Amino acid sequence: MVQISAAIIAASVALVVAFLTPTVTSLRARRQAVHDKFDAALSALLLVQASRQRPQGLKATPAGWTPQEHRALNLRTAESGFEFHIKCTADAKVALAAIAPYVPEVRDYITSKWELREDEEPELRTKVDARRAAAVKSERLFLARRPLPSQGV
């Protein structure tokens, strides 16, 4: 009788562990995915800020260069800096779109204008960072993500 009880307890523990381990691992993975989205969005916003500081080219004509070569270099430098800024802005909008279900305030920045203004970016980063904890908490052990209270539910 004692051996049967011990076997039942051992089997029960094995079943519980076999069930809970993948469940807890899945929850951790879902929460880490939310953290990764927020990290990507914050990094993308900082990269937009950094890309505003574009090289303007060389002031003086390098020795052995013609004025036309100097002008062409400066033009290419300015164009590539501006193209990089546009790419960073587009990448930031993609990253913001990934967190829009958790941070509804970013939707305006994604859809209403092509550029994130320099004075808006720090405030936007603050809003995104403030919503991280609630977004991570919204991932529950046995439930699908529920809408946050600010999403009208």
Q: Is 72 left (phi over 0), alpha (psi -120 to 50) or beta?
A: alpha
pLDDT single digits (tens) 17-49 = 777 777 778 888 888 999 999 999 999 999 999
pTM: 0.73
Instruction: Tell me the pLDDT of the chain averaged across its residues.
Output: 84
In angstroms, how far apart are the furthest CA atoms of the chain? 99
Which amino acid, 64? G
pLDDT single digits (tens) 126-138 = 999 999 988 888 8
CA-based nearest residue to 131, from 117, 151, 108, 115: 151
- Least confident range of 29-38, 55-64, 113-122: 55-64
Q: How far apart are CA 69 and CA 52, in angstroms?
A: 25
pLDDT single digits (tens) 97-108 = 999 999 998 888
